[in-house]
Structure 1
Amino acid sequence: MPGVSAGAGAGRDSLVAVAYSIDPQSLALSRSVLDRAADRRRDQEWLDKAWADPDTQVATVAGDQLLVNPDRTTLKLVPPAEAPEGRRIFLGIDRESGAGQTADGRAVFAVLVEGEPGEEYAGLREIGGLLDDREAGIAVNVVGLANWHAVHTHCGNCGAHTETVEAGHVLECPSCGMHHFPRSDPAIIVLVTDDQDRALLGRNPKWPEGRYSTLAGFVEPGESLEAAVRREVLEETGVIVGEDVRYAGSQPWPLPSSLMLGFYATATGFDIEVDDDEISDARWFSREDLTALVKAGTMALPGNISISRRLIEGWYGNSLTGSW
């Protein structure tokens, strides 16, 4: 269990300050191997040569679902000659593969196809934690780009239909000339502890009974990450967070376009009053509470690919079973 600088049974005049942490390797969607090789996105001659290379690999995406092999634990990556028709996106170069005829390494592309995905497709929630580092990085990158392409079909400045340039990483307006780039919306996610070292977890009213998670929310314009932590916790639960806000790690969450920035924080005001909008119930849980509820099957924790799960386990001091 992490070290505690003030006793876990300390009174409310003394706060618990605990050095919790997240193992970066445990963040399933933060892994990557590919060199994104942004300098090649404008080099059409190089891109054409890479696409003609039989060693090049192509992922296929329909909506935000990925084409997978029958074992449903790996992506189905095919050579360009076997790739379907669709919007082509260059993802990067696997410089460690030893393959490829471009002298840079094996190129990796994706094709975005139209239509509803079939049973041979799977989403990140299902397979994100099963993929190796290389395929996890491919999957997260292309799902994020696919979601961006799906909702940015027209120019936000003049309304004209956009065109894809720079190998799928820029949308250009042929009318006003504006360039549009992929974006990730920053969102904080935080595990708050009290003076007894209990964790604050809440539940959304739309979730089935028994589902609890850490608190989260988007960062507003002109707001620091620490200020966003304090505001979101106060708005959703009425709990006051003091100066002790500690960064723990980050993970892309392209569902559709977030970057989750994880924190641990210590409360200075402990009374709970939920907003009954985003949060219908919130409670302070001790480790003993959590152990008993999870063991009894009356409480479900976030899935293993989420940073929320890692924040909880970092506080708990060990891995936990059971998830949504």
Structure 2
Amino acid sequence: MREFGYERVYDVPGAVALLGADPDARLLGGGTNLVDLMKTGVERPARLIDVRDLPLDRIEATQDGGLHIGATVTNSDLAAHPEVRRRYPALAQAVLAGASGQLRNMATVGGNLLQRTRCGYFADPAQPCNKRVPGSGCPAIKGEHHNHAILGASEQCVAVHPSDMGVALAAFDAVVSYETTDGSGELPLAAFYLPVGDTPHLETALPPGALITGITLPSAPVAAHSRYRKVRERASYAFAIGSIAAALDVRDGLVRDVRLAFGAVASRPWRAREAERVLAGGPASADAFAAAADAELAAAEALPHNGYKVTLLRNLVVAVLTELSELTEEAAR
């Protein structure tokens, strides 16, 4: 591991000033992704700025009925918060589906958003990787890619974003707040992650030197009727091979509101807007759910060994929406 400097900060202006003054510095929250990449030599920061003690560890209700989540809130505290569990149960379920209890105790919300989109080739400095060394190639396309992207990828990169939390945040229109030396700003999560295109090494739209300070979830009554479902190759300690965050409001057999997002299918959490469009105002039936999934997945471009994800996501959509439909109809009676 390369020798590096270390500084702990206690206020946001101090953190932003240090980060802005040193382009080779990295922010350290829980370190559950960054430190691993430092050990393998993929990340080589000159300085770590420890932000764990910043006063950004609260979850508070907003005036419109949503929630604001501070960037240093741990994943464990997020999943356990009673208002998160009541208003956005899919978010709590998504967080609990990720990693292990020990990692959730350390990992922060801001750090979760910034974990690298990656695969085994990215994590191995002996292999070429356009994310790590732009222009070196993407060996996954002709190599091991059974858990790689089927949506929104390019010839430059087919890795998938690993976050479970991010999938639920995408479904509920989360907004990311940040600070820089030039002032504060906001980015909707829909615009936070950049398309892969020809620059897969550029992952977010955050300006240089930005510090994430929090995430705001707008009021969404439909989110109270939500679920997160994750499929993985072993029962724990594994990334998803397909996941879904879904919320549904059904009245008299018709879809009044629906939110859908997919995980493990793209370089970013994938909001299934075409599926939502197809479902809006229509019947809440298994056939309709399948048709909506097919409409969303029509754009899928599978590689030779990951085409199973199309069927997997279709089945997840039908199963989870059917479950939610039955629950919401029962609650309405």
| Same-fold status (TM-score > 0.5) | no
| Structure 1 length-normalised TM | 0.23
Q: Which structure has more strand as a fraction of its residues?
A: 1
Of structures 1 and 2, the larger Rg is shown by: 1
Q: Which structure has more helix as a fraction of its residues?
A: 2
| Structure 2 length-normalised TM | 0.22
